[in-house]
Amino acid sequence: MKCLIIGGGLAGMASAVWLAEKGHQVTLLEKRGSLGGRTIAIPQTAVDDIPDNGQHVFASGYEYLLRFLDSIGTRQHVCFPGHMGVRMPGGEFRQTAFWGLGGLRIALGDLPCVHGLDKLRTARAQARMFAQAIRQPADLDQITAEEWFNRVGLPEAARKAMWDGIVVGLTGDKPAISSAKVPADLFATGMRQAVRMRTPVSIGYPTVDLDTLFVRSSERTFVRLGVQVRTRAPVRHVDVDNGKVRGVTLLDGEQIEADCVICAVQVWRVRGLLDQVPEHATIYRAVEQLTAVPIVSVNLYLDRDIGMQDWGEVLYGGEGVLEQVWDRQRMHGRKADKTWFFSTTVSAAYELIKGTNQEITDRQMAVLRRYYPAAREAKVIHSHIVRMPHSTFAQRPGTAGVRPLQRTSVKGLALAGDWTRTDWTTTMEGACQSAARAVAVVLA
Ligand SMILES: Cc1cc2nc3c(=O)[nH]c(=O)nc-3n(C[C@H](O)[C@H](O)[C@H](O)COP(=O)(O)OP(=O)(O)OC[C@H]3O[C@@H](n4cnc5c(N)ncnc54)[C@H](O)[C@@H]3O)c2cc1C
């Protein structure tokens, strides 16, 4: 078949590789000047480095993403150390292990700053949450994650220590506005995957920049498999004829014919592309319910070490905003001969994103100084700020089931992208699982 893929993010690149592996003739159309979508590195000549647009972490259950890395030959660049850190204001550090004794301590409610009877209440509430994730109460999509926490009796201290951060990390949004069904579904998926893959739930990270991990290796694979890549080729709409896909029309009017098309653009770019698809109004309505969440990432090059004890540390007490610090020396084996590189991520950064570069840098340095005594005298050599107002999408209560399937009513046309229906939310794994499903649809 002659196949067209619209969008060169993870969903589009994985679709292209997997269709080409089956012997089909594939052309990938990307609107921007380069591939990678939301997973890219941005070179910084001032410090001769290539930091990412934002730290991307992996879950051990990311089956399709790891399969994609196998296809492009970079799986060896992902590491699952089995632990992360929690950092208190003033500098106290506590390591969180995902399995073994460390995991047991968490299950028993032994979280930072959770004391006395609250430990017991936390253990009981956590057990209830996991039970309800598997056998979900009928109204879980009608309440927020915060209301769910209250219902199962999770103490405020446990929320502050871990659970608010987990919800922001998983759903992209604050517990007070995110549907409780989103984290519940993810807990269920995580547990199912852990059993199926016989791997305890764990968080990992790439040991190289995102261009090396995803983009350069995909480009090499495209050359090997004969995939044609056209950048600066924005698609205006998908062309449909008599219930069958005919190809696409580019913004400049060029028409390209094809036997099948996979549309793998972001949720906020899909409007207009599918006007000729009979169910386009339903898809566009669904799209409106997936609201964009901002992430601000700051790549800080400092004149000294700040004394992190783990590769990634969550800052205690984010008050509904997840704040994390990443040690690129540890993660990438980076030599700190001229500068020390730490990156910070603030998810659900509705307020921070409005700041100027200087304000954001000052604010992040103030945070580091509060949590890391060794950062008090640190000087910023270079600061690189990545504001992404459209980073991930959030699902508010009442939106369960709105994400469209990959299959459309048009023969030869499938949808892909992290926003289409998968076992995951807005993640790299969601993007790759959607690609696998879209490829299956067009092959069928
Ligand atoms: C800062 C940040 C941190 C994140 N952290 C994590 C994390 O820790 N773990 C995790 O799993 N996920 C994380 N994510 C989410 C993850 O990056 C995304 O879910 C995933 O990359 C989405 O891939 P995609 O292919 O669906 O979309 P995209 O990567 O957005 O790709 C869509 C592509 O379509 C192109 N396009 C759009 N319109 C057109 C058109 N008309 N014609 C042609 N091309 C078009 C775009 O230019 C883009 O390249 C994070 C995201 C951000 C931004």
Whether residue 109 is contained in a domain is answered as yes
Query: 198, 226, 254: which is the final residue of a domain?
Result: 198
Atom of ligand 1 nearest to the CA of 62: 11
Whether residue 250 is contained in a domain is answered as yes
Q: What is the pLDDT of residue 323?
A: 84
Q: Residue 439 sits in a domain of what CATH number? A: 3.50.50.60
Q: What is the pLDDT of residue 318?
A: 64
pLDDT tens for 230-241 read 999 999 999 999
Whether residue 419 is contained in a domain is answered as yes
Same domain, 109 and 173: yes
Whether residue 113 is contained in a domain is answered as yes
What is the residue range of 110's domain? 99-198
Same domain, 173 and 246: no
Q: Residue 116 sits in a domain of what CATH number? A: 1.10.405
pLDDT tens for 27-59 read 999 999 999 999 999 999 999 999 999 999 999
CA of 102 to the centre of ligand 1 (A): 33
Least confident of 61-65, 90-94, 125-129, 160-164: 160-164
Query: 156, 172, 198: which is the final residue of a domain?
Result: 198
Residue 320 pLDDT greater than 70, yes or no: no
Domain count for the chain, please give it.
2
Q: Does 294 sit in the ligand 1 pocket, CB within 6 Å?
A: no
> pTM for this one?
0.95
Could you tell which of 267, 388, 428 is best to mutate to test the pocket of ligand 1, judged by most ligand atoms within 8 Å of the CB?
428
Whether residue 46 is contained in a domain is answered as no
Least confident of 5-9, 97-101, 152-156, 364-368: 97-101
Q: Say how far apart CA 240 and CA 120 lie, in whole Å.
A: 59
Cβ(36)–Cβ(26) under 8 Å? no
